[in-house]
Amino acid sequence: MSQPDAKATPSVAGASAEASAFRDVIRHLASGVTIITSSSKSGEPVGMTATAVCSVSAMPPMLLVSLTTSSHTAQGVMETGAFAVHLLPHSGRKHAEQFASRNLHFQGVKYELTPDKQIPVLTDVLGWFLCQVEQSLPVADHVIFVGRVLQCELKDKSPDPLLYFDRSYRKLAPGAEPGAENLEPWGSQDVGLPGFGW
């Protein structure tokens, strides 16, 4: 089932797929790499590398993140009700590795704290979103936080993002494809969905 050339008969009946089969497929979903930050009850900065980040709507601007419940970052987000999402540039790989390691996440990392909830906003990033939690949904051993975007900034006007694919960090090939066309699948009005003016 997990081999790329093995044939599986699609069916919605029966038990869940094997975790290993799921991982073998989902790791081929190419993602941008982010760092999610928040703050603990005692005011300590917390943060983790994450690829489970998704836009939800533009009006109002909302996004979601899925964090392991036992992580320090998920605990901080639950306690403060706020978090920041940072899009990493390709040059930020060492920060991605640092924030996915066991400790010392913020060692040598430049950031400033929001005055109210003490959320660290990292300096050397491609762009960032500052979010207030609107909903949280426990799912298996993760919590999905839906955040309303209060502030955001694209810091790099010629972005070169850090990507993750098949357990490796990757770089976007510059100008490899012509521009996307037919970006209005949702009709003539901007209803705030990806695809229209996104």
Ligand X SMILES: Cc1cc2nc3c(=O)[nH]c(=O)nc-3n(C[C@H](O)[C@H](O)[C@H](O)COP(=O)(O)O)c2cc1C
**Residues making contact with ligand X (CB under 6 A):** 33, 46, 48-52, 66-68, 71-73, 99-100, 105, 164
Q: In the sheet that 142-154 helps form, which strands lie side by side, from edge to edge?
A: 45-50, 34-39, 82-87, 127-139, 142-154, 61-68, 53-58
Considering the complex, what minimum distance in angstroms separates the CB of residue 122 from ligand X? 15
Considering the complex, what minimum distance in angstroms separates the CB of residue 7 from ligand X? 30
Residue with smaller CB distance to ligand X, 158 or 168: 168
Residues 6+ apart with CB under 8 A from 169: 33, 93, 96, 162, 163
Residue with smaller CB distance to ligand X, 72 or 117: 72
Considering the complex, what minimum distance in angstroms separates the CB of residue 10 from ligand X? 27
Cα–Cα dist 179/196, whole Å: 14
Cα–Cα dist 101/85, whole Å: 18
| CA 67 to mean position of chain CA atoms | 9
Residue with smaller CB distance to ligand X, 67 or 122: 67
Cα–Cα dist 178/164, whole Å: 22
Residue with smaller CB distance to ligand X, 29 or 100: 100
Cα–Cα dist 67/53, whole Å: 9
Cα–Cα dist 193/172, whole Å: 24
Considering the complex, what minimum distance in angstroms separates the CB of residue 39 from ligand X? 12
Residue with smaller CB distance to ligand X, 48 or 126: 48
Considering the complex, what minimum distance in angstroms separates the CB of residue 69 from ligand X? 8
Which residue of this chain has its Cβ atom nearest to ligand X in the complex? Answer: 52
Beta strands in the chain (DSSP E): 31-32, 34-39, 45-50, 53-58, 61-68, 82-87, 111-113, 120-122, 127-139, 142-154, 162-165, 168-171
Residue with smaller CB distance to ligand X, 75 or 192: 75
Considering the complex, what minimum distance in angstroms separates the CB of residue 142 from ligand X? 6
